[in-house]
Structure 1
Amino acid sequence: MLKKYNSENPNPNDIKLGARLKLARSLAGMSQEKLGSELKITFQQIQKYEKGTNRISASRLIDCARILNQPITFFYEIEEEAKSEQSQSWLDVVQSDHGLRVMKILGNASEAQKDKILRTARIIAEPG
Structure 2
Amino acid sequence: MKHPVDVHVGKRVRHRRWMLGMTQQQLAEKVGIKFQQIQKYETGMNRVSASRLWDIAEALSVPINYFFEGLGGQEGLMAQGVVPGDILADKEALELVRSYYAIPENQRRRLFELARVLSDTAA
Normalising by the residue count of structure 2, what TM-score does the alignment of the two structures yield?
0.77
Work out whether residues 8 and 68 of structure 2, in 8 Å CA contact, stay in contact via their aligned partners in 1: no
How far is 1:34 from its partner?
Answer: 1.2
Secondary structure in 2 matching 1:78 = coil
How far is 1:95 from its partner?
Answer: 3.2
Partner of 1:33: 25
Partner of 2:81: none
Q: 1:53 aligned to 2:34? A: no
Partner of 1:100: 94
Closer, same or farther in 2 for the Cα pair 1:54/1:80, shift >3 Å?
same
How far is 1:110 from its partner?
Answer: 5.3
Number of positions where the alignment pairs a residue of Structure 1 with one of Structure 2: 115
Partner of 1:65: 57
How far is 1:112 from its partner?
Answer: 4.1
Structure 1 unmatched ranges of 5 or more:
1-8
Normalising by the residue count of structure 1, what TM-score does the alignment of the two structures yield?
0.74
Percent identity, please: 33
How far is 1:106 from its partner?
Answer: 3.5
Structure 2 unmatched ranges of 5 or more:
77-83
**What does 1:1-128 align with in structure 2 at a 5 Å threshold?**
9-80=1-72, 88-89=84-85, 91=86, 93-109=87-103, 111-126=105-120, 127=122
Partner Cα distance (1:95, 1:107) in 2: 18
Q: What letter is aligned with 2:100?
A: L
Question: Greater CA deviation, 64-73 or 41-50?
Answer: 64-73
Work out whether residues 8 and 44 of structure 2, in 8 Å CA contact, stay in contact via their aligned partners in 1: yes
How far is 1:40 from its partner?
Answer: 1.2
Deviations 1:36-81 (A, max 9, x none): 1111111111111011111111221121111112232221103259
Partner of 2:79: none
Q: Indicate the structure whose relative CO is greater, using CA pairs within 8 Å and at least 6 residues apart.
A: 2
